[in-house]
């Protein structure tokens, strides 16, 4: 089956608004904290300054692998314009659930402080997200983390609906495979028709890689990123397991294409493995790990 690429990683801005948003957010993230890091363009500081055109919208993605904070402004054309994207390793969540409240709070506070200092504004409201189908008290923990980190108002959305806000899929399955979990949302006519998730993500791929290569788990992550071509054949059984999870999470929806969000399937060739194994059309996106954080910020009011 086909794998459609919405644009290869690092490619010029694709024509769609999704591609434009992802490329713009990736460019802001590459500039790093303070807007002066690698990849900064002349005039970037001006571009990343709040325009005052409208309320800034903030999204906090409390991921298993990393915590990401995104700030969106309104561009001159009224479209969303990322002006701040920052992340910090998380270590405070397992399978999408907050297990170390103090650490998660400290991480969000640190990201919030850095954004406020750089943008020269106070950020009082944010949206944040929980993996679909976790118990309600676990979902609420995401709200409490943001409140403890200093946000006065916190809007809570589910991760898959957030990802959909970036992808704007009308008929398709949005699949968010992060560090620890695989979330799936079925959309028909732009309306959410089903939502489910299972454990399984990049961390599990690291376990497969470490076992197969006889290396430590902490070595597996950098190896996977630095040597995607060598890693892919070793990871095929792990990717097929993720594919089986997606199959089990979407019974009766086999006609719909899969849209891949999240970092775990950013390894080159992963989309093809899923497409072939599941015999389904798979759409991949550059900078896929920014899809959910941007969508969380887009959910903010």
Output 63 or 238, the one with its CB closest to Mg ion: 63
Give min distance, CB of 142 to ligand ATP, in A. Answer: 11
Give me the least distance between CB of 221 and ligand ATP, in Å please: 5
**CA distances (Å), 245 to each of 157, 175, 204, in order?**
23, 11, 13
For strand 57-62 and strand 66-74, is the pairing parallel, antiparallel, or unpaired? antiparallel
59 binds, among Mg ion, ligand ATP, none (CB under 5 to 8 A by kind): none
Is the Cβ–Cβ distance between 11 and 5 less than 8 Å? Answer: no
Least distance from ligand ATP to the Cβ atom of residue 45, Å: 27
The pair of three-digit structure tokens given for residue 277, joined into one six-digit string: 């194994």
How many residues in the chain?
A: 301
Question: Which CB atom, from 47 or from 204, has the smaller least distance to Mg ion?
Answer: 204
What lies within 8 Å, CB to CB, of 83 at 6+ separation is 28, 47, 48, 49, 50, 56, 71, 72, 73, 119
Pairing type for strands 258-261 and 172-177 reads parallel
Q: Give me the residues that bind Mg ion (CB under 5 A), please.
A: 63, 178
The answer to the question of residue 178 lying near ligand ATP (CB under 6 A) is yes
Closest CA to 80 of 57, 99, 59: 57
By the rule CB under 6 A, 272 interacts with ligand ATP: no
Considering only residues 55-74, where is the footprint of ligand ATP by CB under 6 A? 61, 63-66
Strands (E), 189-296: 191-199, 258-261, 282-284
Query: Any contact of residue 250 with ligand ATP (CB under 6 A)?
Result: no
Radius of gyration of the chain (CA): 18
- Among 19, 59, 82, 96, contact with ligand ATP (rule: CB under 6 A): 96
Based on the shown chain and the rule CB under 6 A, indicate whether residue 181 belongs to the binding site for ligand ATP. yes
Q: Does 203 bind ligand ATP (CB under 6 A)?
A: yes
CA-angle at 238, arms to 233 and 243, nearest 5°: 110
Query: If binding is defined by CB under 6 A, does position 200 make contact with ligand ATP?
Result: no
Question: Please, are residues 146 and 184 in contact by the beta-carbon 8 Å criterion?
Answer: no
Cβ neighbours, 10 Å, residue 157: 20
Shortest reach from residue 34's CB to ligand ATP, in Å: 22
Q: Does 35 bind ligand ATP (CB under 6 A)?
A: no
The least CB distance from residue 34 to Mg ion, in Å, is 25
Please say which residue, 131 or 172, places its beta carbon nearer to Mg ion.
Answer: 131
What spatial distance separates the first Cα and last Cα of the chain, rounded to whole Å? 39
Our CB check for ligand ATP shows the closer of 49 and 240 to be 240
The stretch among 104-112, 147-155, 187-195, 264-272 that binds ligand ATP (CB under 6 A) is: 264-272
Closest contact distance (angstroms) between CB of 116 and ligand ATP is: 23
- How many helices (H) does the chain have, and how many strands (E)? 10, 13
CB of 190 to ligand ATP, least distance (A): 23
What residues make contact with ligand ATP under the rule CB under 6 A?
61, 63-66, 90, 93, 96, 178-181, 201-203, 221, 224-225, 262-264, 266-267, 289
């Amino acid at each position: 089956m086909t794998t459609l690429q919405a644009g290869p990683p690092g490619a010029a801005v694709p024509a769609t608004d999704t591609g434009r948003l992802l490329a713009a957010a990736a460019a802001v993230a590459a500039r790093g904290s303070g807007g002066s890091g690698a990849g900064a363009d002349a005039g970037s500081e001006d571009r990343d300054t709040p325009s005052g055109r409208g309320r800034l919208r903030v999204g906090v993605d409390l991921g298993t692998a990393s915590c990401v904070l995104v700030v969106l402004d309104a561009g001159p054309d009224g479209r969303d314009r990322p002006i701040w994207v920052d992340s910090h390793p998380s270590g405070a969540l397992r399978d999408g659930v907050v297990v170390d409240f103090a650490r998660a709070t400290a991480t969000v506070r640190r990201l919030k402080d850095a954004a406020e200092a750089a943008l020269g504004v106070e950020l009082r409201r944010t949206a944040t997200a929980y993996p679909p189908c976790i118990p309600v008290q676990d979902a609420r923990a995401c709200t409490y983390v943001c409140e403890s980190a200093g946000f006065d108002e916190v809007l809570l959305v589910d991760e898959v609906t957030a990802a959909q806000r970036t992808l704007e899929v009308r008929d398709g399955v949005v699949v968010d495979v992060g560090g620890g979990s695989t979330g799936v949302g079925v959309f028909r006519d732009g309306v959410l028709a089903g939502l489910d998730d299972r454990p399984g993500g990049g961390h599990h791929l690291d376990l497969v890689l470490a076992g197969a290569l006889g290396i430590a788990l902490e070595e597996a992550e950098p190896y996977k990123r630095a040597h995607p071509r060598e890693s892919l054949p070793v990871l095929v059984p792990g990717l097929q397991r993720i594919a089986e999870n997606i199959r089990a999470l979407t019974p009766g929806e086999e006609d719909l294409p899969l849209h891949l969000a999240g970092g775990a399937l950013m390894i080159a060739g992963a989309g093809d493995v899923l497409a072939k194994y599941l015999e389904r059309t798979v759409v991949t996106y550059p900078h896929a790990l920014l899809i959910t954080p941007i969508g969380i910020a887009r959910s903010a009011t």
